[in-house]
Amino acid sequence: MPANGTGFVLWLTGLSGAGKSTLSELIAADLRERDVPVELLDGDEMREFLTKGLGFSREDRDTNVMRIGYVAKLLAQHGVVSIVAAISPYRDTRDRVRAMANRFVEVHVDCALEHVEARDVKGLYAKARRGEIEQFTGISDPYEPPESPEVRVDSGVQSVDESLAAIMGWLEAEQLVPSRSTA
């Protein structure tokens, strides 16, 4: 497989607040510097055009994940690295997206609940604990961690730079992206 020219889906799964969006943006910026075509499937745009009206039932979450996955795999088929940051709590659903894509790299952005809850950047965990948000992943809704993700980072113990380096290092080692020195 060539180091470049082959698209794939890079799927970041993990709890709300684990740092998926931040990492995604850094990965996207890094790949662009290497002249790799990249598309970050941005949550806000997703909500506006793709997943408007979907809630947090198992069915709606699955529809959401499959829909984003479908777009990601379409782009990947055309040589784009499609980066998706989505809680995507259900293992089975992530595996269905994996089966749909030609190449699927699952990154578990792990973080102990106590850490994301202590940070609680958006105040969502506090609201979920007070019952003001229902079906909140990790509190009142399940999260099924990947059993064998391609990459696992832990934002509770690693810095963002360390997590980024781990992901980029894995992609380089697998020759999915050109290394910076030869780019």
Stretch that binds a copy of itself, among 10-18, 74-82, 142-150, 162-170 (CB under 8 A): 74-82
Q: Which of 6, 22, 43, 67 binds a copy of itself (CB under 8 A)?
A: 67
How many residues sit in the footprint of a copy of itself (CB under 8 A)? Answer: 17
The least CB distance from residue 80 to a copy of itself, in Å, is: 5
CA–CA distance, 149 with 36 (Å, rounded to integer): 23
Reduced 3-state DSSP string for 50-70? HCCCCCCCHHHHHHHHHHHHH
Q: CA–CA separation, 42 vs 35, rounded Å? A: 20
Cβ(145)–Cβ(23) below 8 Å: no
Site for a copy of itself contains 62 (CB under 8 A): no
Reported residue count of the chain is 183
* Contact between 124 and 136 (Cβ < 8 Å): yes
Q: Is 45 in the site for a copy of itself (CB under 8 A)?
A: yes
Q: Does 74 sit near a copy of itself (CB under 8 A)?
A: yes
What single DSSP character describes residue 47?
Answer: I
Q: How far is the CB of 22 from a copy of itself (least distance, A)?
A: 22
List of residues contacting a copy of itself (CB under 8 A): 37, 39, 45, 49-50, 52, 63, 66-67, 70-71, 74-75, 77-80
